[in-house]
């Protein structure tokens, strides 16, 4: 009897471990696949760790590469994104994320003539969303991005660089309402706000070539 109980306990532990790794892999693969498709560039994640019991965890090493034609490698880099979600909603028609906290993101703004990398990414996201809506819906109860910084770079009139702070971005009940919002529509709303705050920070910088080029977006 003791051996049987031990085997059953071992089986339960193995199933739990396998399920945990499966959830982490599913979340990682979906972030990379959906992000890359929408942005028109490479979105990557080092690893994901989410508890099956609490639905809480972290997404580590999130990066968005720059679109083709830009000198810098990255557009966005985030070391750690904290997440709280209904894990089993991944297997339903609507993914439920309770909280998504982004701490100290690094955004890279590269200004060219006439555009910049963030505006290019946003254009790609808007076009992808208009062309194809995801089959799954998504709700994010609370999104918070704080303590972010934007590294500015341009070769207009000679190479110039600077670093500025990005204003906090906080959103509530994204995708919640009478009509279900697709995953890419929810992502689009977040990207829109993050890009806007990043470019506003760049427009207030002391780098004249970047400031003058970007300010026209908010006139």
**pLDDT tens digit sequence for 1-52:** 655 555 555 544 444 444 555 788 889 999 999 999 999 999 999 999 998 8
CB–CB of 102/81 below 8 Å? yes
> Can you list the positions of beta strands (E) in the chain?
43-44, 47-50, 56-65, 74-85, 94-103, 106-111, 137-146, 148-154, 160-166, 169-174
The first and second tokens of residue 15, run together, are 């199933």
Q: According to the model, what pLDDT value does residue 216 have?
A: 55
Total domains in the fold of the chain: 1
pTM of the model: 0.86
The first and second tokens of residue 204, run together, are 């207030």
Query: What span, in angstroms and rounded, lies between the C-alpha atoms of 187 and 62?
Result: 15
Neighbours of 167 (CB within 10 A): 14
Q: Which domain holds residue 169?
A: 2-218
């Amino acid at each position: 009897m003791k051996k049987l109980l031990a085997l059953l306990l071992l089986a339960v532990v193995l199933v739990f471990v396998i399920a945990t790794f499966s959830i982490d892999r599913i979340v990682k693969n979906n972030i990379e696949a959906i992000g890359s498709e929408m942005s028109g560039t490479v979105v990557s994640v080092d690893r994901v760790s989410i508890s099956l019991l609490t639905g809480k965890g972290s997404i580590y090493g999130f990066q968005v590469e720059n679109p083709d034609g830009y000198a810098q490698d990255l557009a966005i880099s985030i070391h750690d994104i904290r997440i709280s979600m209904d894990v089993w909603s991944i297997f339903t028609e609507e993914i439920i994320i309770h909280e998504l906290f982004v701490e100290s993101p690094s955004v890279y703004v590269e200004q060219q003539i006439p555009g910049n990398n963030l505006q290019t990414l946003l254009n790609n996201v808007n076009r992808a969303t208009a062309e194809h809506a995801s089959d799954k819906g998504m709700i994010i109860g609370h999104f918070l991005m704080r303590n972010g910084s934007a590294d500015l770079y341009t070769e207009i009139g000679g190479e110039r660089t600077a670093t500025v702070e990005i204003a906090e971005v906080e959103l509530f009940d994204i995708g919640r309402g009478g009509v279900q919002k697709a995953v890419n529509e929810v992502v689009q709303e977040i990207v829109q706000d993050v890009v806007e705050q990043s470019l506003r920070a760049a427009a207030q910088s002391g780098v004249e070539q970047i400031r003058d080029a970007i300010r026209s977006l908010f006139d």
